Amino acid sequence: MSFLYPFLNFLQPGVFWPALAPYRPMLVATLIAVLYELLRSRPGDAELRRRFFLHPAFLWLCAFVLVQVISVYYSGVRGMLEELDFWDVYLLFVAASLLSIHDARSLRRYVWGMMLGSAVVIGYGLYAVAVNLPTLADGRAGAYGMYENHNDYTFIIIMVLPFAYLFVRLARAWLTKLLLLALVGACMVGVALSLSRGGILALVLEGALILGLTMTGKRRVLAIAVLGMIGSVAIVHQFTAREENQRGLYTQADAENSRYELWRAARNMIVAHPVLGIGSRRFKEFSQDYGEISHDNRGKVAHNTYMEVAADTGILGFGSFMLMLHGMFRTVREVRPGDARDEGLIEIRLATFISLCAIMFRSLLDAKAYDWSYYVLAVLAIASSILASRCAHGEATAQQAAAPSEAPPRRPAVSARPMVYRQR
């Protein structure tokens, strides 16, 4: 289940096969996963799960979801239940995921499920561009349903890329290595074809973090310098290609002005409703009431996750969201690849750190508090840090237990005559 559940979450059968949507297949899969894991509990799982669910990141996630529901109190009980129906899937996803993780091996299977499920979405986006599907936004790389446009599409790429890159070192079979390298290449091609300006900036930042944290000495300096040159060219090309694709209808200056309009509206919302905001996911509905919003920008998100969270749910929502991210960041920040072992925990924690940094940067340029990347990274940060802590504690306990059984070292026998270096 640790592999199948994250794979299905990104495959999204209810979106890929719309006929299944009325049956809410992912909710059914979540309930099955929870029951399955509870029925096959093993010795030691209870303590591990207790530590999982008492992790600060999980507790702040619960608080964040609760604030989302409370923030629409003015809509009555029905409105609050509708909001709970939207947000509870993320909390249930994290809980079911943590229940499916028992040790480092199951965590690796979970990462593989996440990577291969993401590969389906990324591959579908490339296929959509290749055949020029009419459902694409402006003919660019958007994946089906859950990722319908270029901005959403780059979030999943930024999330999965560090894991694919770092898992190459864990793979033993050449076919597995080839698959991972193909996924890395698909991620870079996907960002380029998406024409997302924020996506290319986040990709270059993520590449710098990967090289900076996995290399040392002169190789690191040289690699980052080369990346800086290639990245600069890629950024300029992406911005130029985006301008050409819009054919003068939506220029870079228009994008900047529209963001300023939306950000001013978000600021006014925060000032007017500082505690609980205007209500979860209500920014698009009320933005024109808090600033001069041009016709084309009405009904759009704030294009900044942090500002939209603060505008929607005030200090309580913004605070719980940032504390959730802080809880994740704190547990994975002090990781060095030199400590890597066969379990893969170091690689997972390092990839989580890199991905989290890039996603937090990407969130400055788009509003996606409900993107799956935050909640997948929450699972990985919680599980990898606690499993690593348990592993380190177990080794220390084993060493302490083995120490008394060892015979005390004997004092060397002292000869009556001085030792003489013999020559033959």
**Total domain count for the chain?**
1
Angle, helix 150-166 to helix 197-214, in steps of 10 degrees: 10
Kindly state whether residue 152 falls inside one of the protein's structural domains.
yes
Per-residue pLDDT tens for 78-97?
999 999 999 999 999 999 99
In a domain? residue 187 = yes
Find out whether 116 and 12 touch, Cβ atoms under 8 Å: no
Under 8 Å between Cβ of 65 and 53: no
Contact yes or no for 371/308 (Cβ under 8 A): no
CA dist., res. 324 & res. 284, Å (int): 24
Low-confidence ranges of the chain (pLDDT < 70): 134-151, 248-256, 335-342, 393-424
Encoded amino acid at 135, one letter: T
Is the separation of the CB atoms in 195 and 243 below 8 Å? no
Chain CA centroid to CA 283, Å = 24
- Cα–Cα distance for residue pair 309/269, rounded to 1 Å: 11
CA dihedral 102, 104, 109, 110 (to 10 degrees): 70
| Contact of 259 with 366, CB cutoff 8 Å | no
CB 171 within 8 A of CB 126: no
Nearest to 331 by CA among 380, 261, 292: 380
Is the CB of residue 34 less than 8 Å from the CB of residue 99? yes
Model pLDDT for residues 266-297, shown as the tens digit of each residue: 999 999 999 999 999 999 889 888 888 877 77
In the block, residue with structure tokens 């640790």: 2
Looking at residue 413, the DSSP 8-state letter turns out to be: P
Residue 288 in domain = yes
- Give the helix ranges, DSSP H, for 100-196: 104-131, 150-166, 174-194
In a domain, 421, yes or no: no
pLDDT at 44: 83
Residue numbers of the domain that contains 303 = 4-37+55-391
Tens-digit pLDDT profile for residues 311-348 = 999 999 999 999 999 999 998 887 655 554 557 899 99
Q: Is residue 44 part of a domain?
A: no
Nearest to 345 by CA among 107, 1, 98, 114: 107
Q: Can you tell me the distance from the alpha carbon of 281 to that of 312, in angstroms, rounded to the nearest whole number?
A: 6
Residue type, 49: R
Q: How far apart are CA 376 and CA 94, in angstroms?
A: 7
Structure tokens at 326: 């802080």
Contact (Cβ atoms closer than 8 angstroms) between residue 144 and residue 15:
yes
**d(Cα 302, Cα 284) in Å, to the nearest integer?**
8
Domain assignment present for 369:
yes
Closest to 303 (Cα-Cα) out of 137, 160, 149, 73: 149
CA distance 417 to 267: 89
- Tokens 């593989």 belong to 112
Q: Which one-letter amino acid corresponds to residue 73?
A: Y
b/e 170-186 (16+ beta carbons within 10 angstroms → b) = beeeeeeeebbeebbeb
Q: Are 300 and 279 in contact (CB under 8 A)?
A: no
Domain assignment present for 400: no
Calculated CA dihedral for residues 239, 244, 247, 253, nearest 10 degrees: 20
The pTM of this model reads 0.87
pLDDT score for 161 = 97
In this prediction, residue 81 carries a pLDDT of 95
Structural domain includes residue 45 = no
Name the percent of the chain in helix, strand, coil, to the closest 5.
75, 0, 25
